[in-house]
């Protein structure tokens, strides 16, 4: 799943690897070290192992599990690194990893099975199927197609079940018009599956997908019992600020989750069976999981989805694009303490699943992508592609764009220098590295790193940097020519502050005034929707909405982000 925090470009990369000695690598099983026509796969496996070793060290990840499969079966299952970092215990084959939003493709398969059986209609209004999904809209009805493609116009929240029984989910744009990743839509689809089948969601997934594919180790609901079979997993020591790779991690607490947006825990071997089915066009050993028509619908590019990368579109529960000119289906999964990636070359019929037992803000997409490229090439007797470079987490794209001195109205200044692909904040005689954090940058310093650096450009990403927002502070650069004095509505003072939710999915949000506007976490612009509510205005059709409630002595003490409660705290 993609958390709200990640959608705000909250965390990705920085720092140095902390593993000592060679990573533990265990090949747990393989169908064969060669293809059916005798082409060797061992060189591809060796190249992939070397790349994973480099990748985990660079990203400072504890451990990883990896499955490779083609249309004939699971090719190889491998584990790398540590299940328990403190005890230096290796990941082993039977341990489960939480796959997060890759669960959405399981949901899509189950929905399409019911479509094949004539029990559901993809274009029927959900209001007729789900009267319990409370929606406020002035647009045409939302359909199952819209929920499956993240084009419903509903907010990108984790759940449709709001704490206020009178509240409704507000639709911001006409369904089908835009792609905005929406977990609550898939949670609702899980309830629909349960409603139609008259059994719990987990039982539906087990009977319709897991049992037919022989995925007997997989658990379709995450609970304390699941934790007993999982690898140990990790998340950031501090959850109220941008996370830099190399920063401290802590063992994550047990999670209970039954949301269809991301509640499956699986072994790599089982996920290899799942990958094989997708590589085979929705069939295994002559038995179709869904019809050819439904698989074509599932893997059709219904809507542009740049959130998954340039040129990406979204099908039903899967992102669709091209790799080396060939059609590819893929998805990622982000949990509180796991990060996963699934990639399938649909034309060559080879796929990979990779999962890391930590949430550090990135997904192991490079591992899965290189896996399908190198194995696909070996299977056809082609030269093996070179392993992609693993960018140092301290690498800043176009670092020179951000070099310069930026000055606040009170005379305080922030100075940055670029040295090749690296950027540094200059504090007297000290140079502090600046690290990439999603689309933002963060100073690698415990105090200054509380806020991302929100560099501003005048007219889009290809134009020069003109000024900088850092928390509630605004700084003008040499190229800045606009106003240097800003006014704010007096009512906004009541909204500024730090709000917190104890759920591991949410953590902290901070609201600041800077450059004449309100900003969430200093990076997300807010657009007024009435006197006490704001849209998260990036992109400008984003249906996430922030409301400020319960004022006490001039300060609002409750913020609702798309229906989720955050309470004001006195901490900075």
Residue 245: inside a domain: yes
Report pLDDT digits (tens) over 521-541: 999 999 999 889 999 988 999
Report pLDDT digits (tens) over 544-563: 999 999 999 999 999 999 99
Residue 485: inside a domain: no
What is the reported pLDDT for 163? 83
What is the reported pLDDT for 124? 96
Q: Indicate the SS3 state at residue 374.
A: helix
209 and 351 within one domain: yes
What is the reported pLDDT for 11? 33
What is the reported pLDDT for 33? 66
Measured CA to CA in angstroms, residue 541 lies from 13, 177, 351, 545 at distances of 28, 10, 34, 11
Q: Could you list the residue range(s) of the whole structural domain that residue 411 is in? A: 399-476
Measured CA to CA in angstroms, residue 396 lies from 113, 370, 436, 437 at distances of 45, 23, 6, 9
Count up the domains in the chain and report the number. 4
For residues 111 and 316, give the distance between their C-alpha atoms in angstroms, rounded to a whole number: 10
What is the reported pLDDT for 393? 75
For residues 415 and 560, give the distance between their C-alpha atoms in angstroms, rounded to a whole number: 36
What is the reported pLDDT for 438? 63
**Is residue 217 within 8 Å of 94, Cβ to Cβ?**
yes
Residue 247: inside a domain: yes
What is the reported pLDDT for 3? 39
Here the CATH number for the domain that contains residue 98 is 3.40.710.10
Residue 190: inside a domain: yes
Tokens of 114: 């019911």
What lies within 8 Å, CB to CB, of 449 at 6+ separation is 241, 242, 244, 442, 443
Report pLDDT digits (tens) over 236-292: 998 888 887 788 999 999 899 999 999 999 999 999 999 999 999 999 998 999 999
Stretches in the chain below the pLDDT threshold 50: 1-22
266 and 339 within one domain: yes
449 and 336 within one domain: no
Here the CATH number for the domain that contains residue 502 is 2.40.128.50
Q: pTM score, two decimals?
A: 0.92
Residue 229: inside a domain: yes
Q: Which residue has the tokens 């900075």?
A: 572
247 and 359 within one domain: yes
Phi-psi region of 309 (alpha: psi -120 to 50; beta: other; left: phi over 0): left
What is the reported pLDDT for 22? 44
What is the reported pLDDT for 34? 65
255 and 189 within one domain: no
């Amino acid at each position: 799943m993609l958390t709200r925090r990640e959608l705000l470009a909250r965390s990705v990369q920085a720092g140095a690897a902390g593993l000592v000695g060679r990573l533990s690598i265990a090949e747990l099983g393989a169908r064969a070290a060669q293809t059916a026509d005798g082409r060797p796969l061992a060189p591809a496996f060796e190249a992939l192992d070397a790349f994973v070793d480099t990748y985990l060290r660079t990203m400072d990840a504890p451990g990883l599990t990896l499955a490779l499969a083609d249309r004939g079966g699971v090719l190889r299952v491998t584990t790398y690194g540590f299940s328990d970092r403190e005890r230096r215990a290796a990941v082993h084959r039977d341990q489960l990893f939480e796959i997060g939003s890759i669960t959405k493709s399981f949901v899509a398969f189950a929905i399409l099975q019911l479509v094949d059986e004539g029990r559901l209609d993809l274009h029927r209004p959900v209001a007729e199927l789900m009267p319990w999904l409370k929606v406020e809209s002035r647009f045409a009805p939302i359909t199952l197609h819209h929920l499956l493609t993240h084009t419903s116009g509903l907010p990108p929240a984790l759940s449709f079940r709001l704490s206020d029984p009178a509240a409704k989910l507000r639709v911001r744009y006409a369904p089908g018009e835009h792609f905005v990743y929406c977990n609550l839509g898939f949670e609702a689809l899980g309830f629909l599956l349960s409603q139609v089948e008259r059994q719990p969601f987990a039982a539906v997934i087990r009977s319709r997908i897991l049992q037919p594919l022989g995925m007997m180790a997989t658990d379709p609901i995450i609970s304390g019992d699941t934790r007993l079979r999982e690898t140990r997993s990790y998340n950031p020591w501090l959850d109220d600020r941008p996370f830099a790779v190399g920063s401290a991690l802590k063992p994550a607490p047990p999670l209970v989750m039954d949301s269809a947006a991301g509640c499956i825990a699986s072994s790599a071997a089982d996920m290899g069976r799942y990958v094989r089915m997708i590589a085979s066009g929705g069939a295994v050993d002559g038995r179709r999981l869904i019809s050819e028509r439904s698989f074509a619908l599932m893997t059709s590019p219904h809507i542009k989805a740049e959130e998954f990368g340039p040129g990406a579109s979204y099908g039903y529960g899967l992102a669709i694009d091209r790799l080396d000119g060939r059609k590819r289906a893929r998805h990622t999964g982000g949990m509180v303490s796991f990060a996963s990636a699934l990639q399938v070359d649909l034309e060559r019929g080879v796929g990979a699943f990779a999962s890391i037992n930590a949430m550090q803000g990135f997904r192991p997409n490079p591992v899965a992508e290189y896996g399908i490229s190198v194995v696909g090439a070996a299977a056809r007797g082609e030269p093996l592609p070179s392993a992609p470079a693993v960018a140092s987490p301290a690498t800043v794209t176009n670092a020179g764009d951000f070099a310069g001195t930026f000055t606040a109205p009170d005379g305080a200044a922030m100075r940055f220098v670029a040295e090749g692909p690296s950027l540094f904040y200059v504090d007297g005689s000290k140079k502090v590295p600046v690290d990439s954090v999603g689309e933002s940058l963060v100073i690698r310093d415990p105090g200054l790193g509380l806020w991302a650096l929100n560099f501003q450009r005048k007219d889009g990403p290809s134009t020069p940097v003109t000024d900088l927002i850092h928390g509630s502070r605004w700084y003008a650069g040499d190229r800045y020519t606009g106003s240097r004095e800003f006014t704010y509505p007096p009512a906004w003072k009541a909204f500024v502050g730090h709000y917190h939710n104890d759920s591991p999915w949410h953590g902290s949000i901070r609201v600041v005034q800077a450059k004449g506007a309100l900003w969430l976490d200093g990076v997300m612009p807010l657009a007024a929707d009435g006197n006490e509510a704001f849209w998260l205005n990036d992109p400008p059709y984003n249906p996430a909405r922030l409301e400020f409630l319960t004022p006490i002595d001039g300060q609002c003490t409750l913020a609702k982000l798309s229906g989720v409660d955050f309470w004001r705290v006195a901490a900075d």
